[in-house]
Chains A and B, each alone.
Chain A
Amino acid sequence: MAPHRLLAPLVVLCLALVACAGPAGTSSPSAPGAGTPTASPSTASSPASLFPLTLTDDAGREVLLEASPERIVSLAPSNTEIVCALDACDRLVGVTDFDDYPPQVLEIDKVVVAAAVDVERVVAAEPDLVLAAGNELTPSTVIAQLDDLGLTVLVLYPETLDEVYADIELLGRAVGNPDAAADLVAGMEQRVHAVVEAVEGADRPLTLYEVFHGEGTTYTAGEGSFLASLLDLAGAEPLTGDAQGLLTPEALVAADPELILLGTASYDPSLADPGTALETVAARTGWSELRAVRDERVVPYVEDIVTTRPGPRIVDGLEALARAIHPDRFDAAP
């Protein structure tokens, strides 16, 4: 029977691509755009006067918010983090089971279980705002279903730092706290600037960031992806794969990276020790001849979550990257 024959060989692919967060990938159905408010009142600070408000989300949808949302459901960890960073954590009534920051979100009801959105739970939470993720991270069929049920859905999908800032500002307006958003963004920009300055002038090593490796297949930052842009800001020359981040062994050997950051070490404890990591990596076919392996520049990288979650802590990720790539440019870890 056809469907069952397809499943087995493609589970690996499936795992690989799910683990590969943040590549630019195929374009989403509607034109992606940073959230811009199209009809917002003046910059008055009192929350009540900011509503009603029409926002344009990252999927290009125009969403009307009648009043300040008091019951927010987040369908992605990055959305949750932004909401909490905007001081609206207590308004969250539904999160995903992957959400882990800040710690208090672990107590909130889960509406997304094992990456599947349970629409019944979403409806039961009676949200007045649902924050979905774009690019099919929340399936478009689910978004359509939520729309049909009359819920207010904002789709967020930032693919660059600037878009993260824009989403923070968008959510800042949505929750009626634009000032907090502005402050947060300013702080982030400052820290980014500091990183860029710190690594200025340093050699930019050709760096492979390993997102996933299995069965001889390697996934790294996709071409033009968010992760690639972070690596660039952190003072490295990112070795990118194709649009999905797939890197063939031949391409890897031909490129010959100088530095390897094992993002997989964030999930695989056996790679946590630099010595073992080097051995494991060197044992892979063709890898022992890479410059990075011969020079023993294979670094277990445990900050993958913040490096690939496009929320307020993305800057933590950037800093961790910079520190891993140019340790000499930074003091001992704070």
Chain B
Amino acid sequence: MSATPVARQLVLGPSLGRATLVLSAGVGLLAVVSLAAVAFGTTGVGPGEAATILVHRVLGIGSVSWPASSETILWELRLPRVAAGIIVGAGLACAGTVFQALLRNPLADPYIIGTAAGASFGAVSALLLPAVLPIAVGAWLGLGMIQLLAFAGALTTVAVVFAVARGRSGTPVIALLLAGYAISSLLAAGVALLMFLSGDRLMAVVTWLLGSLAGASWPRLAIAAPLIVVSFTLLLLRWRTLNALLLGEQAAAHLGVELEREKRILAGLAALATSAGVAISGTIGFVGLVVPHLLRLAFGPDHRLLLPATMVYGAALLVLADLGARMAGGIPVGVVTALIGAPFFLWLLRRSLVAHAR
């Protein structure tokens, strides 16, 4: 059957051309930002030296003409940090997008159903525990007690929230939101109490809560990165489910979405990515909230393009923010993302209010 003239012009979603353009631009931006982040830092290892070291290390070309410290700085400090920025930024932005679709709430971020509160509680407990527990396991994995407990705390909390929110006929979204809020508040109170009792450790706790990529290292990334990548992949495949959810749960069910199962899978995968990210870098805010909104405004709400786009642009944002944070004197990266994110968010809000008023 030949397509009618109307059919030929029908737009069913982001075209391949458009998608390629958007994603290539994003990857290009990410590449530029990552190179800048590797090339610049608080010490004298500049772009030229960085390039020659990389070429030597990766391709084996060239002879060593730089001090060992420069190589250490580049390979052990800057590169893992940039890699962590990419992975965590992508993970948080992706998780934020998923939660916004799942919970149909524009204020949803990756932490909304308890991941931040659970991770904070776990990490702060670890910071204050004397190291009598078997850290040998953690050390072997390249993780400290802090990362392990942060990760465990985050996932446990999400599981508890789901259990609490479960009704007799499924898990209503409003129940998830409310349970997430209540349990997060409870855990936040616990964290505040621990902070009060922490004495001299307070700075360490505050720093962790503000989020930082400073502790990134290859062993840590080796554990967390696969988890995040697995989450990505499985979430990317579920773009249709996310689109269907935009119509509401009943309509999504009528389109073939197995609601209870998919809610668990989506929330579970997003929580996994978030928890792994939090374990690497603490609770960095705004990336997961603002990036999805910005990209939705720019590229539309279709998750086939939106989801991969948030990963790419989220990664670029975090790497850029970390570069800024480092150059500004080591301020926590969460501060920079807030400084970038909040004004953008306000601008978005004004724009959408004005648009709806017309």
Within 8 A of B (CB), among A1-50: 1-7, 9-10, 13-14, 17-18, 23, 25-27, 29-30
Say yes or no for A194: interface residue by CB 8 A criterion.
no
Say yes or no for A118: interface residue by CB 8 A criterion.
yes
Within 8 A of A (CB), among B28-80: 41-45, 67-70, 72-73, 76-78
Say yes or no for B128: interface residue by CB 8 A criterion.
yes
Known A-B contacts A2-B120, A29-B131, A126-B69; A114 and B330 likewise in contact (beta carbons under 8 Å): yes
Q: Which residues of A contact B111 (CB under 8 A)?
A: 1-3
Q: Given A10, A23, A149, which contacts B192 in the complex, CB threshold below 8 Å? A: A10
Q: Given B70, B116, B128, B187, which contacts A1 in the complex, CB threshold below 8 Å? A: B116
Q: Are B330 and A14 in contact (CB under 8 A)?
A: no
Q: Which residues of B contact A145 (CB under 8 A)?
A: 215, 217
Q: Which residues of A contact B211 (CB under 8 A)?
A: 3
Say yes or no for B347: interface residue by CB 8 A criterion.
no
Q: Given A2, A18, A121, A123, which contacts B188 in the complex, CB threshold below 8 Å? A: A2
Q: Given A27, A121, A139, A141, which contacts B42 in the complex, CB threshold below 8 Å? A: A121
Known A-B contacts A1-B285, A120-B78; A7 and B200 likewise in contact (beta carbons under 8 Å): no
Q: Are B200 and A119 in contact (CB under 8 A)?
A: no
Within 8 A of A (CB), among B62-104: 67-70, 72-73, 76-78
Q: Are A6 and B202 in contact (CB under 8 A)?
A: no
Within 8 A of B (CB), among A92-132: 113-116, 118-121, 123-126
Bound complex: CA A196 to CA B282 (Å): 49
Q: Are B130 and A13 in contact (CB under 8 A)?
A: no
Q: Are A5 and B195 in contact (CB under 8 A)?
A: no
Interface size on A, residues (CB 8 A): 44
Bound complex: CA A125 to CA B326 (Å): 18
Q: Are A5 and B188 in contact (CB under 8 A)?
A: yes
Q: Are A120 and B41 in contact (CB under 8 A)?
A: yes
Q: Are B43 and A139 in contact (CB under 8 A)?
A: no
Q: Given A124, A125, A139, which contacts B203 in the complex, CB threshold below 8 Å? A: A139
Bound complex: CA A211 to CA B184 (Å): 35
Known A-B contacts A2-B120, A2-B184, A113-B330; A120 and B202 likewise in contact (beta carbons under 8 Å): no
Known A-B contacts A3-B285, A14-B206, A149-B72; A25 and B42 likewise in contact (beta carbons under 8 Å): no
Say yes or no for A251: interface residue by CB 8 A criterion.
no
Q: Are B195 and A10 in contact (CB under 8 A)?
A: yes
Q: Are B69 and A124 in contact (CB under 8 A)?
A: yes
Q: Which residues of A contact B131 (CB under 8 A)?
A: 29-30
Nearest B residue (CB) for A145:
B215
Nearest B residue (CB) for A31:
B130
Q: Are A29 and B130 in contact (CB under 8 A)?
A: yes
Known A-B contacts A6-B191, A29-B131, A144-B144; A119 and B217 likewise in contact (beta carbons under 8 Å): no
Q: Which residues of B contact A29 (CB under 8 A)?
A: 130-131
Render A136-157 as a binary contact track against B, CB cut-off 8 A, 1 for contact. Answer: 1101110011001110000000
Q: Which residues of A contact B44 (CB under 8 A)?
A: 124
Say yes or no for B294: interface residue by CB 8 A criterion.
no
Q: Are A118 and B283 in contact (CB under 8 A)?
A: no
Render B180-203 as a binary contact track against A, CB cut-off 8 A, 1 for contact. Answer: 000011011001100110111111
Most interface-central of A1, A126, A139 (chain B CB within 10 A): A1
Say yes or no for A79: interface residue by CB 8 A criterion.
no
Say yes or no for A160: interface residue by CB 8 A criterion.
no
Q: Which residues of A contact B69 (CB under 8 A)?
A: 123-126
Say yes or no for A220: interface residue by CB 8 A criterion.
no
Bound complex: CA A121 to CA B76 (Å): 13
Q: Closest Cβ of chain B: how far from A248's Cβ, in Å?
A: 13
Bound complex: CA A36 to CA B207 (Å): 33
Say yes or no for A85: interface residue by CB 8 A criterion.
no
Bound complex: CA A37 to CA B188 (Å): 45
Q: Given A27, A115, A126, which contacts B67 in the complex, CB threshold below 8 Å? A: A126
Nearest B residue (CB) for A112:
B330
Q: Given A26, A116, A118, A144, which contacts B199 in the complex, CB threshold below 8 Å? A: A26
Q: Are A141 and B73 in contact (CB under 8 A)?
A: no
Q: Which residues of A contact B330 (CB under 8 A)?
A: 113-114, 116, 118
Say yes or no for A135: interface residue by CB 8 A criterion.
yes
Q: Closest Cβ of chain B: how far from A78's Cβ, in Å?
A: 15
> Which 9 A/B pairs are nearest by Cβ-Cβ distance?
A124-B43, A116-B330, A25-B199, A29-B131, A25-B200, A3-B283, A244-B199, A126-B69, A2-B117
Given A2-B117, A144-B144, 15 more pairs with CB closer than 8 A: A3-B111, A6-B188, A7-B210, A10-B202, A13-B202, A30-B131, A113-B330, A114-B330, A120-B77, A120-B78, A120-B326, A121-B42, A125-B69, A149-B72, A150-B72
A-B residue pairs in contact (CB < 8 Å), sample of 19: A1-B109, A2-B120, A2-B188, A3-B116, A3-B285, A4-B338, A6-B209, A18-B202, A30-B131, A114-B330, A121-B43, A124-B69, A124-B70, A124-B73, A126-B68, A135-B200, A139-B203, A141-B144, A145-B217
